[in-house]
């Protein structure tokens, strides 16, 4: 029934995953199990990667089950019709979902294999341009069977990620070799090195904090890194760009070339994608990343980057620092985790209309911001720690991240605004994820 196909990434927001489990675990008056429908939008990248972005979940009402004890659950035509109507209304694909209530990867029963491909075909007739299929959930894993436009067969996702804190990452590839280089970080979990070798990480901006992040990702064994920077090194970069040397300035070396030199010397197995352009001109490379570090200077750029990451269910770890004069010099900075479905930079009050308007008024004459190496190092190290916790879950923390850096006192603490911010975002709704739709007015 299935053939192997690479490059399918299925992203599910944590709150939708939780919603599915809560619904499917409920008992029913006569059905042995429950069924639901997960709606998802599909984005096909020119590199051959298919992104499937889950946006909504629809339970099946109790009255739409048919009493048939020969199968775990049987639903009527009304339930199918409702799911097909929602698929049409939302311009998306649909996945039949049910639960095998155990831990570890689930597998389809003989009944599933006989009956579900026909259900998938009915969804395909409604939404042929989107991926459709069925998902079987367990308590902590998935079985996927997916029909995409480019294939005649039902395929398995190469990566299913539950985008939350921490991630759940399920790769179809299971093999990884033991590397003594990482022996002393085994406390991060038995599977941590496999995850670091398979997850794709983006770094936007390599001039200051980004160069610290690239170096540290290499040290912990992150293999697949995409770096976005269109600048060449200048003499004013030498006070903070890790790996940059004076002869690079004389040769006007690209910052991405310095990144490659530093990272591959530390971790020769690195698989680097160097984007010698602004990320806005290489959006598909960004969309293919599983987590992104934002090391940009302006509020406007942060707003644009956060919007793009939210649309494609990509966590963004933002860092930034500044020095200001108020009767003396004061150094401050922040690390913010912008997690799809949770608080964004506007929710936290970091991005405001006032800040954006003030910055826009200075457009073209903003000048260079003070930057030095040690606060960039502090902020970058803290951000890498956030990343490691997202991937491995080693601290067991579920809290959001908004850290404040006092450079004068040398302290990193929770920002005071964090305790007053609800962990729910109204600025970026999950239902609006995927490529934007333009409607003629």
Model pLDDT for residues 250-291, shown as the tens digit of each residue: 999 999 999 999 999 999 999 999 999 999 999 999 999 999
C-alpha closest to that of 341 among 319, 310, 295, 317:
310
Q: How many CA atoms lie within 13 A of 107 on its CB side?
A: 2
Q: pLDDT confidence of 370, banded at 50, 70, 90?
A: confident
Residue 437 has pLDDT above 90, yes or no: no
Q: pLDDT confidence of 441, banded at 50, 70, 90?
A: low
Contact in structure between 115 and 136 (CB atoms under 8 Å): no
Give the domain ranges of the chain.
8-163, 180-429
**Peptide bond preceding 311: is omega within 30 degrees of 0, i.e. cis?**
no
Positive or negative, the CA dihedral 321, 325, 326, 328 is positive
H or E element in which residue 353 lies: helix 353-361
Q: pLDDT confidence of 364, banded at 50, 70, 90?
A: very low
Positive or negative, the CA dihedral 393, 396, 398, 401 is negative
Name 13's Cβ contacts closer than 8 Å, sequence gap at least 6.
Answer: 54, 162, 163, 164, 313, 340, 341, 430
Burial per residue of 327-344, b for 16 or more beta-carbon CB atoms within 10 angstroms, e otherwise: eeeebebbbbbbbbbbbb
CATH match of 8-163 with 3.90.1690: no
Contact in structure between 254 and 282 (CB atoms under 8 Å): no
Mean pLDDT of 222-251: 96
Where do the DSSP E strands lie in 175-313?
Answer: 200-204, 224-228, 271-275, 291-294
Please, what is the angle between helix 299-311 and helix 353-361, to 10°? 130
Positive or negative, the CA dihedral 246, 249, 250, 254 is positive
Whole-number average pLDDT of the chain: 92
pLDDT for 361 equals: 79
- Is 176 buried (19+), middle (13-18) or exposed (0-12) by CB count in 10 A? middle
Interatomic CA distance for residues 57 and 78, integer angstroms: 17
Phi and psi torsions of 32, nearest 5°: -80, -25
Q: Could you tell me the pTM of the whole model?
A: 0.94
pLDDT for 299 equals: 94
CB atoms within 10 A of CB 418: 18
Quick one: what percent of the chain has pLDDT higher than 70?
95
CB atoms within 10 A of CB 377: 18
Question: Which of 348 and 70 is assigned the larger pLDDT?
Answer: 348
As a whole number of Å, the CA-based R_g of the chain is 23
Residue 175 has pLDDT above 80, yes or no: no
Residue 438 has pLDDT above 60, yes or no: no
C-alpha closest to that of 403 among 395, 392, 411:
411
C-alpha closest to that of 204 among 174, 187, 227, 186:
227
Q: pLDDT confidence of 422, banded at 50, 70, 90?
A: confident
Find the range with the poorest average confidence among 74-88, 212-226, 308-322, 349-363: 349-363
Residue 387 has pLDDT above 90, yes or no: yes
- Residue showing tokens 């959001």: 400
Interatomic CA distance for residues 351 and 373, integer angstroms: 25
- The tokens describing 370, both together, are 């003070």
Q: How many CA atoms lie within 13 A of 140 on its CB side?
A: 5
**Helices H / strands E in the chain, number of each:** 11, 16
* Each residue's pLDDT tens digit, 26-52: 999 999 999 999 999 999 999 999 999
Residue 76 has pLDDT above 90, yes or no: yes
pLDDT for 180 equals: 82
* Each residue's pLDDT tens digit, 401-419: 999 999 999 999 999 999 9
CATH match of 180-429 with 3.90.1720.10: no
- The tokens describing 99, both together, are 């639960």
- The tokens describing 11, both together, are 């992203």
C-alpha closest to that of 73 among 64, 82, 81:
64
pLDDT for 179 equals: 82
Quick one: what percent of the chain has pLDDT higher than 90?
85
Residue 100 has pLDDT above 90, yes or no: yes
C-alpha closest to that of 307 among 350, 338, 334:
338
Interatomic CA distance for residues 354 and 404, integer angstroms: 20
* Each residue's pLDDT tens digit, 184-211: 998 999 899 999 999 999 999 998 899 9
pLDDT for 274 equals: 98
C-alpha closest to that of 423 among 326, 347, 349:
347
């Amino acid at each position: 029934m299935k053939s192997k196909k690479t490059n399918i990434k299925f992203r599910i927001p944590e709150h939708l995953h939780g919603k599915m489990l809560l619904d499917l675990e409920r008992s029913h008056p006569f059905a042995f199990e429950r069924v639901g429908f997960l709606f998802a939008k599909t984005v096909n990248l020119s590199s051959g990667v298919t992104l499937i972005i889950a946006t909504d979940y629809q339970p099946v009402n109790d009255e739409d089950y048919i009493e048939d004890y020969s199968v775990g659950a049987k639903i009527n035509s009304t339930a199918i019709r409702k799911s097909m109507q929602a698929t049409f209304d939302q311009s998306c694909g649909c996945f039949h979902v049910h639960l095998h209530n155990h831990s570890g990867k689930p597998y389809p029963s003989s009944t599933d294999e006989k009956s579900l491909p026909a259900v998938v075909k009915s969804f395909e007739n409604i939404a042929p341009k989107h991926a459709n299929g069925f998902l079987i959930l367990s308590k902590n894993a998935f079985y996927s069977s997916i029909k995409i436009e480019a294939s005649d067969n039902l395929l398995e996702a190469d990566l299913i990620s539950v985008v939350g804190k921490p991630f759940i990452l399920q790769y179809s590839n299971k093999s990884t070799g033991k590397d003594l280089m990482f022996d002393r970080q085994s406390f991060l979990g038995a599977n941590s090195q496999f995850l670091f070798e398979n997850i794709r990480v983006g770094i936007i901006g390599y001039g200051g904090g980004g160069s610290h992040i690239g170096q540290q990702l290499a040290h912990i064994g992150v293999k697949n890194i995409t770096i976005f920077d269109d600048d060449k090194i200048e003499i004013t970069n030498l006070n903070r760009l890790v790996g940059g040397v004076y002869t690079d300035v004389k040769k006007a070396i690209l910052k991405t070339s310095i990144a490659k030199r530093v990272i591959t010397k530390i971790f020769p197995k690195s698989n680097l994608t160097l984007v010698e352009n602004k990320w806005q001109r290489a959006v598909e490379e960004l969309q293919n990343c599983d987590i992104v570090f934002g090391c940009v200077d302006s509020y406007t750029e942060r707003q644009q980057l956060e919007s793009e990451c939210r649309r494609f269910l990509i966590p963004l770890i933002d860092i930034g620092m500044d020095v200001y004069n108020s009767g003396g010099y004061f150094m401050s900075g922040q690390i913010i985790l912008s997690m799809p479905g949770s608080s964004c930079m506007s929710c936290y009050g970091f991005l405001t209309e006032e800040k954006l308007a003030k910055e826009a008024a200075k457009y073209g004459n903003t000048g260079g911001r003070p930057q030095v190496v040690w606060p960039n190092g502090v902020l970058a190290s803290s951000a890498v720690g956030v990343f490691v916790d997202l991937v491995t879950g080693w601290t067991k923390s579920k809290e959001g991240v908004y850290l404040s850096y006092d450079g004068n006192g040398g302290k990193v603490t929770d920002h005071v605004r964090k305790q007053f911010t609800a962990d729910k975002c109204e600025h970026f709704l999950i239902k609006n994820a995927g490529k934007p739709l333009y409607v003629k007015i």
